[in-house]
Amino acid sequence: KAGVTQTPRYLIKTRGQQVTLSCSPISGHRSVSWYQQTPGQGLQFLFEYFSETQRNKGNFPGRFSGRQFSNSRSEMNVSTLELGDSALYLCASSRDAANYGYTFGSGTRLTVV
């Protein structure tokens, strides 16, 4: 059974650029969430999508956005990159987040230089 697939695995961007990260959830999972992990702030919730609708959003600036497609695949976009955006971005999917929890992907390591 395929897990949550995130691409690319590694990314290096310069300040001011924008970046798009991709996530393919486990087949049948309609809920997709994104988290940012940094040494200083730990794991922080970015947003959650279900059936192409953003249902929940964390405390991140508007430069961070996302979307979900009809096949449940999700993308996350960060515009006007800052050095502080360097982090591991984790995508997670679930069929029922309350009772079964999320399965996380391997993450995309973004480095902003």
Partner 1 sequence: ELKVEQNPLFLSMQEGKNYTIYCNYSTTSDRLYWYRQDPGKSLESLFVLLSNGAVKQEGRLMASLDTKARLSTLHITAAVHDLSATYFCAVVMGSRGTYKYIFGTGTRLKVLA
Report how far residue 104's alpha carbon sits from residue 26's, in angstroms, rounded to the nearest whole number.
Answer: 10
Locate all alpha helices (DSSP H) within the chain, ordered by sequence.
97-100
Q: Note whether 105 binds partner 1 by CB under 8 A.
A: yes
Choose among 102, 106, 112: nearest CA to 78.
112
Q: What string marks each residue from 26 to 45 as x (binds partner 1 by CB under 8 A) or -?
A: -------x-x------xxxx
Binding test (CB under 8 A) with partner 1, winner from 48, 72, 74, 112: 48
- Residue nearer to partner 1 on the CB measure, 42 or 62: 42
Name the site residues for partner 1 (rule: CB under 8 A): 33, 35, 42-45, 48, 50, 55-56, 58, 90, 92, 97-107
